[in-house]
């Protein structure tokens, strides 16, 4: 029997990193920057949090507030640096965004796996593997009533604070993009930077802020994955291709973070659906085909939006193009 009460929390757990990643990428893309470095940024966000937590736990102290703040800050700073690299290269130096993004992914995944694999050796600590159970316990602390509310508590209240933060950030981002002046300017920059510039909007500042904030949000996705979903255990390449899935989500939701809240949980569900479908022992291979679903669905959505060619469903007009004021 398909058990929804256990399935939904796991789908949410899978979906939250995607939600962080896609919200960040939507903000970035709205400013006209196509940041294909998001997978790398998410790795960096995760590993920086791990490094922070690792040294904090090594120091022997254990104050819950600090256990949260140190990894959180480390993660934010790490992904901010990645965002700054991307912005400096693509906005200030007008480099090709696809190439820069892919280089950032190579670099970020490398940083994640390198420090994940060598942190213990470099720091000379006396532990067999990186298992941050104390930090993880704080991060994945459920809401207080979760245990008492039966299935309701299980489905809605059983997550760590970052999960709720993800949903709040997504909703706030959606509101800002759609209903505020800042959002209007941001969209203008993404659609036609030359016009926005002529209207007196500081294009470069908008691009920098949107991309850096986007990267910081995406980095939190990596942090959530390690600290909450993976219970503080870093294993190399465990994060996998979720970064690309987050970019897929951006298209799937047609650049709307509020839709992404449900869509990411749906993608999370699709990602783990194979564990819940009875295939029998003879046909284990079918499970691999289920894992293909999120990508196929995204491809179909991508094609359908381009087929219908509705104006409000299109990517930002200047997506992927560098802006140079003096270019005609």
Q: Which residues of this chain interact with another protein, rule CB under 8 A?
A: 34, 36, 85, 88-89, 92-96, 98-100, 102-118, 121-122, 236, 241, 244, 247-248, 251, 284-289, 291-292, 295-296, 298-299, 302-303, 306-307, 309, 315, 320, 324, 326-327
Name the residue nearer to another protein (CB basis): 180 or 279.
279
Name the residue nearer to another protein (CB basis): 91 or 220.
91
* Residue 42 beta carbon to another protein: minimum distance, rounded to whole angstroms: 15
* Residue 308 beta carbon to another protein: minimum distance, rounded to whole angstroms: 9
* Residue 190 beta carbon to another protein: minimum distance, rounded to whole angstroms: 14
Report the C-alpha gap between 248 and 238 in whole angstroms. Answer: 19
* Residue 100 beta carbon to another protein: minimum distance, rounded to whole angstroms: 6
- Residues linked to residue 181 through DSSP beta bridges, in sequence order: none
Name the residue nearer to another protein (CB basis): 220 or 319.
319
* Residue 13 beta carbon to another protein: minimum distance, rounded to whole angstroms: 21
Name the residue nearer to another protein (CB basis): 125 or 302.
302
Name the residue nearer to another protein (CB basis): 179 or 291.
291
């Amino acid at each position: 029997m398909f058990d929804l009460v256990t399935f939904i929390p796991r789908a949410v757990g899978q979906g939250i990193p995607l939600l962080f990643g896609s919200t960040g990428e939507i903000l970035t893309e709205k400013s006209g920057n196509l940041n294909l470095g998001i997978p790398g940024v998410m790795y960096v966000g995760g590993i920086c949090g791990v490094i922070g937590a690792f040294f904090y736990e090594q120091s022997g102290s254990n104050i819950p507030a600090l256990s949260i703040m140190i990894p959180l800050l480390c993660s934010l700073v790490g992904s901010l640096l990645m965002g700054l690299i991307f912005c400096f290269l693509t906005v200030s130096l007008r480099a090709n965004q696809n190439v820069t993004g892919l280089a950032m992914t190579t670099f970020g995944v490398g940083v994640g796996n390198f420090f994940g694999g060598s942190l213990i050796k470099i720091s000379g600590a006396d532990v067999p593997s990186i298992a941050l159970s104390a930090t993880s316990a704080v991060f994945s602390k459920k809401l207080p009533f979760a245990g008492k509310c039966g299935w309701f508590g299980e489905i809605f209240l059983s997550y760590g604070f970052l999960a709720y933060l993800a949903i709040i950030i997504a909703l706030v981002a959606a509101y800002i993009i759609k209903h505020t002046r800042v959002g209007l300017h941001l969209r203008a920059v993404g659609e036609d930077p030359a016009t926005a510039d002529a209207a007196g909007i500081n294009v470069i500042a908008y691009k920098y802020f949107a991309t850096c904030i986007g990267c910081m949000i995406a980095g939190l996705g990596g942090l959530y994955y390690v600290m909450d979903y993976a219970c503080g255990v870093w294993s190399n390449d465990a994060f996998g291709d979720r970064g690309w899935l987050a970019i897929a989500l951006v298209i799937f939701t047609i650049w709307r973070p509020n839709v992404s809240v449900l869509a990411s949980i749906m993608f999370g569900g699709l990602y783990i659906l194979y564990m819940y479908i009875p295939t029998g022992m003879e046909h284990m291979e079918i499970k691999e085909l289920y894992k293909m679903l999120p990508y196929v669905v995204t491809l179909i959505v991508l094609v359908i939006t381009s087929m219908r060619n509705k104006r409000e469903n299109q990517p930002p007009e200047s997506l992927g193009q560098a802006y140079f004021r003096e270019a005609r």
